[in-house]
Amino acid sequence: MPEQMTLPRSTATPDAEYASPRVRRLREDLSLALRAAAHHGLSEGVCNHFSVLLPGAQDRYLINPRGLHWSEIGPNDIVLIDVHGNVLAGRHRVEPTALFIHGAIHRITGHAVVLHCHMPYATALTLTVDRALDPTLSQNAMRYMNRIAIDGTYNGLALDDAEGERIANAMAGKDIAFLANHGVVVAGATIAHAYDDLYYLERACLHQVIAQSTGRPLVPVDAALAARVAAQIQGEREQSDLFFDALRRLLPPAG
């Protein structure tokens, strides 16, 4: 396991930290991302998980609770836990696989935001021999050029540290992971940017699946051109923030 930097723990109590303005804003943003995912058809029952590290921390993060549909989650439903799965603040339980997958990815990769779901078209591609999106096809797909990791081995439910660590290590420095026969992980520095990537990842996968369903040969672009388009998109993330601001206006608060 890669050695992780240890940052000083906050001197505030977990309840006080949970109620602080900056953590309150993170809870608002995380619950908005969950409601947006439900709105966009990316959620699945009451399963799957979105999480974000607390500012300046490597050992504490916020995550959605067990048993609530994403459309009904508000900021007061978000749970604060540590990387070992201990609930520090919040009124709900956390689903076990969330503890192992998210705790390991935060701890090993250092990504601040981790979004994991079984969204339909991206998951469909994890069932194919290629296991993932082709980033040289649509313009939406090109933004993921050189960012995709493929975990080609399905190993059952993530119910122990070893499985969470295996998934985290499979990401190998990438921020998008296609998990064979399972779903996807999208990681990022902010909730707005990660959610934008999640949304457009599903759109790109939808376009690829529809194109493949025609039975006609697909026409990719040159890999160098795809990489240039990726750099153009990643170099200007204001659009991601504007999209998230629009979702804040459009989707009603909950809780």
* Burial of 212 per CB tally in 10 Å (0-12, 13-18, 19+): middle
Domain assignment of residue 6, yes or no: no
Is the model's pLDDT at 2 over the cut of 80? no
- CATH code of the domain containing 109: 3.40.225.10
Domain assignment of residue 167, yes or no: yes
Beta bridge partners, 156, equal none
Does residue 235 sit in helix, strand or coil?
A: coil
**Closest by Cα among 36, 67, 86 to 249:** 36
25 Cβ contact partners less than 8 Å away, ≥ 6 residues apart = none
pLDDT in tens, 37-66: 999 999 999 999 999 999 989 899 999 999
Domain assignment of residue 204, yes or no: yes
pLDDT in tens, 72-115: 999 999 999 998 889 999 999 999 889 899 999 999 999 999 99
Domain assignment of residue 3, yes or no: no
The more confident residue out of 199 and 172 is 199
Q: What is the mean pLDDT of residues 210-220?
A: 98
Buried-exposed string 161-192: b where 16+ CB fall within 10 A, e elsewhere: bebbbbbbbbbeebbbbbbbebbbbbbbebbb
Domain assignment of residue 154, yes or no: yes
Is the model's pLDDT at 255 over the cut of 70? no
Domain assignment of residue 5, yes or no: no
Neighbours of 22 (CB within 10 A): 11
State the DSSP code for 132: S
Number of independent structural domains in the chain: 1
Containing structural domain, residue 34: 14-250
Domain assignment of residue 255, yes or no: no
Rounded to an integer, what distance in angstroms lies between the CA atom of residue 27 and that of residue 247? 15
Domain assignment of residue 8, yes or no: no
Query: Rounded to the nearest 5°, which phi and psi values hold at 18?
Result: -60, -35
